[in-house]
Amino acid sequence: MKYLLLFIPFLLLSACNGTANKLADQWGLTEKTRDPIQNKNPSNCPKWKSGQVINITKNTTIPKGCRYDKVSFTLFTSNVTFDCNGAILNGLGKTKRNEVTIPYKKEEVPIAKAFYISGSESNFLQNVTLKNCQLEYYVNGINLGFGLKKSTFSDLKNGRNITALENHLRTLSPKNIRIENVTIKKSHRVGIFIGRYITGLTIHKSDISKGDTGIYLESGTQKIKISHSTFTKNGETSYNPAKRYRINRLINGREAIAIDSSAHNIIENNTFINNEGGAIFIYKNCYERYTDASQLPRYQTSDHNIIRKNHFKDEEKGVWIASRQNRNLENFKCGDPAMLISSDNKKYYQDYAKHNLISHNTFDDVKKGVIVQDDLNTISDNLFKGTTRNDVIIGSEIRTRQLSHPVTGTTVKNNRFSSTANPHVILRFKPIKNTFSSNQPAVSIEASSK
């Protein structure tokens, strides 16, 4: 029996979907979908059924002790508060996800989202609060969206009057949306997806763990505030809806918060613990999958974000500014012009993330505290401690060599360095016009061409 068990993973990986399902059931690696848990709810709970989508149009508080399987909600009406009151919402109808590579049966796939909060150009949405919810096992926990007219979509697709148009859309997008005291765990994809042009959203006192990306800020978003929240062990697996299974991210694990073509955001007083790829990555999307008719170019750059008073613990990377500057994006099918196409067809695209402030944070046992690969960013008043490789890394090989434009104008000041890193700051590929002042101790710096 011992030898047979050793071969089970191989059999599961190599079998077709039908055989994999049979083996998974036989060896107890999946769990059957249960009868909807709401069938056992207290009598005063709303009689929402599995698979139902409920449109919330007025203030709603779920009674204490209610639980639901495979139910989702839409909030398209202004001046509404939805209080889950501690209710547990399960998007899968099981108590655990299938193991990686084991597909869900068609009838048991996870629900796409627990909550969809959305306005449009013709429906200005404002003053919506979602609070006290426990969400688990959905594809995405919460989606925030903004519907565009066909003519607007066409103008964005074709780059017509972009600056004025994007500014106008941000005035129409949902306003004063608040997500508070929400727990989101084991999402198959994103905990909270913040769609294009959403402005002024607040996420407060929430806990997002063990999903793919914890929070994703889409292109054109601005002035999002994320505070007093915790992000733990996100980014380890991804989900393929077409094949109905999860896969391990053995390479390029995701981050807790993705700031993608998003600006003027504040991320403060949060805790980040052991997320697979890292804590916060700031970058501009290269117009991925541009041949897909549903995709739009990304015009806004990821500038003027403030990352302050956070605690980063046991992270591979803390904050990575311009995180795709040196990454081969050949498989992303980008629509932006390439910065470099190598002889073996690797493709690199210029990344944009300027004027970001990384301030008053604690980096504790973070292997690479702050990585800077674009211009005019500031790292100030932080504490770097514990066992690390490098506290601050500045520079970009691809930009220096391909554009003859090394990373420029990084300011490193008033930081305290008590980690094991040696040196604390490393300059790679000759970044220029750096400023170092009032660090304790005075930073040890190593210049490297590698």
pLDDT per residue as tens digits for the range 403-447? 899 999 999 999 999 999 999 999 999 999 999 999 998 776 766
Note whether 15 and 106 are same-domain residues: no
Confidence label for 450 from pLDDT (cuts 50, 70 and 90)? low
Same-domain status, 191 and 337: yes
Q: What is the number of structural domains in the chain?
A: 2
User: Is the pLDDT score of 363 beyond 70?
Assistant: yes
Task: Give the structural domain span for 9.
Answer: 1-30
Q: Is residue 261 part of a domain?
A: yes
For the chain, what percent of residues have pLDDT higher than 90?
89
What is the tens place of the pLDDT at every residue in 173-230? 999 999 999 999 999 999 999 999 999 999 999 999 999 999 999 999 999 999 999 9
CB neighbours of residue 179 within 10 Å: 27
Whether residues 197 and 344 share a domain: the answer is: yes
Residues 93 and 7 in one domain: no
Amino acid 23: pLDDT: 52
Residue 39 counted as domain residue:
no
- What's the mean pLDDT when you consider all of the chain? 93
Model pLDDT, residue 182: 98
Residue 414 forms part of a structural domain: yes
Q: Name which residue leads in pLDDT, 63 or 9.
A: 63
Would you call 329 helix, strand, or coil by DSSP?
coil
Say whether pLDDT at 100 is over 50. Answer: yes
% of the chain at pLDDT higher than 70: 92
> Is residue 316 located within the same domain as residue 193?
yes
Looking at the fold, whether 145 and 18 belong to one and the same domain comes out as no
CATH number at residue 183: 2.160.20
In a domain, 62, yes or no: no
pLDDT, average across residues 145-174: 98
pLDDT band per the 50, 70, 90 thresholds, residue 1: very low
Confidence of residue 12 (pLDDT cuts 50, 70, 90): very low
pLDDT of residue 443: 74
Give the mean model confidence (pLDDT) for residues 282-298. 97
pLDDT at residue number 250: 81
- Check residue 251 and give its pLDDT: 84
Distance separating alpha carbons of residues 72 and 77, to the nearest angstrom: 16
| 283-292: average pLDDT | 97
Residues 320 and 388 in one domain: yes
Same domain, 4 and 124: no
What average pLDDT does the segment 239-246 reach?
96
Per-residue three-class SS string for 286-312: CCCCCCCCCCCCCCCCCCCCEEECCEE
**CA 426 remoteness from chain centre:** 27
Is 103 in the same domain as 10?
A: no
> How would you classify residue 112: left for phi > 0, otherwise alpha for psi between -120 and 50, otherwise beta?
alpha
User: Do the domain assignments include residue 253?
Assistant: yes
Q: What is the pLDDT of residue 17?
A: 53
Q: Measured between alpha carbons, how far is 345 from 358 in angstroms, rounded to an integer?
A: 35
Same domain, 13 and 136: no
The interaxial angle of helices 162-172 and 150-157, nearest 10 deg, is: 140
First to last CA, the chain: 51
Does residue 69 lie in a domain region?
no
Band of residue 96 on the pLDDT scale cut at 50, 70, 90: very high
Give the pLDDT confidence score for residue 435 in this predicted structure: 96
User: Given a cut of 50, is residue 260 above it in pLDDT?
Assistant: yes
pTM score, two decimals? 0.93
Q: Which helix (H) or strand (E) holds 7?
A: helix 2-14
Q: Cβ-count burial of 162 within 10 angstroms (0-12 exposed, 13-18 middle, 19+ buried)?
A: middle
Q: Are residues 22 and 119 in the same domain?
A: no
Interatomic CA distance for residues 93 and 328, integer angstroms: 39
Q: DSSP letters along 227-273, please?
A: ES-EEES-SSEEEETTTTEEEE-SSSPPEEEEEES-BS-EEES-EEE
Give the model's pLDDT for residue 111. Answer: 98
Report pLDDT digits (tens) over 67-88: 999 999 999 999 999 999 999 9
Statement to judge: residues 21 and 162 lie in one domain: no
Work out the burial of residue 150: count CB atoms within 10 Å of its CB; fewer than 13 is exposed, 13-18 middle, 19 or more buried. Answer: exposed
- Cα–Cα distance between 302 and 357 in angstroms, integer? 12
Query: Is 134 a member of any domain?
Result: yes
Question: Is 48 a domain residue?
Answer: no
Q: What is the dihedral of CA 39, 45, 46, 47, to 10 degrees?
A: 20
Q: For residue 245, what are the β-bridge partners?
A: 240
| Tokens standing for residue 367 | 């292997």
Distance separating alpha carbons of residues 346 and 343, to the nearest angstrom: 7
Task: For residue 330, give the nearest of 311, 315, 316, 343 by alpha carbon.
Answer: 343
Q: What residues form DSSP beta bridges with 282?
A: 259, 321
